[in-house]
Amino acid sequence: MLGSYILVIKLNREKNIIVGKMGEIFFDKGHYVYVGSALNGIIQRVSRHLNPQKKLHWHIDYLLEFAKIESIYYKQSNTQQECEIASELKEKLQPVPGFGCSDCNCKSHLFYGTYDRVIDSIEKLEMDRLLIEANS
């Protein structure tokens, strides 16, 4: 299964986190939405995110050291759609500047908002929920 995915992530307390070459970023307590693409397989990519024993490579890996994935959504496609999804999310949620978008022109691929706003924003995207154990 190829396409794009969204991770709904909860950070239980505010925290400064060193995010690779981006350096230290302050993260508020609350809910975040991360958008990614997986043209080599959504299940494989999401499984990597859920694995607590991984090499820190992508920006999201650093956040997931301290936060928990609560739910996962996906959209099947043979083309990258993460930038279009990110563009929709930035209309309702607060972007974390430069996060997860070093290979495109987006402002961010990570967004912050209240739980209700996060869920409302995702529902408008008409993505399917991935039923996989989210226990990172």
68-96: pLDDT as tens digits: 999 999 999 998 899 999 999 999 999 99
Structural domain includes residue 134:
no
pTM summary value = 0.93
Residue 136 has pLDDT above 60, yes or no: no
Q: Does 136 reside within a domain?
A: no
| Whole-number percent of the chain with pLDDT over 90 | 88
Confidence of residue 133 (pLDDT cuts 50, 70, 90): low
Q: What is the DSSP string of 15-67?
A: EEEEEGGGEEEEE-SEEEEEEEEETT-HHHHHHHHH-SS----SHHHHHHTT-
What is the tens place of the pLDDT at every residue in 52-68?
999 999 999 999 999 99
Structure tokens at 124: 């408008």
135 part of a folded domain: no
In a domain, 121, yes or no: yes
Number of domains in the chain: 1
| Closest C-alpha among 58, 19, 17 to residue 38 | 58
Task: Indicate if the pLDDT at residue 134 is higher than 60.
Answer: no
The pair of three-digit structure tokens given for residue 102, joined into one six-digit string: 């070093």
Mean pLDDT of 23-49: 95
Helix (H) or strand (E) holding 85: helix 82-89
4 closest CA partner among 118, 87, 97: 87
CA separation (Å) from 53 to 5, 49, 57, 67, 100? 21, 10, 12, 14, 20
Residue-range definition of the domain harbouring residue 81: 3-129
CB 111 within 8 A of CB 27: no
pLDDT at 121 over 60: yes
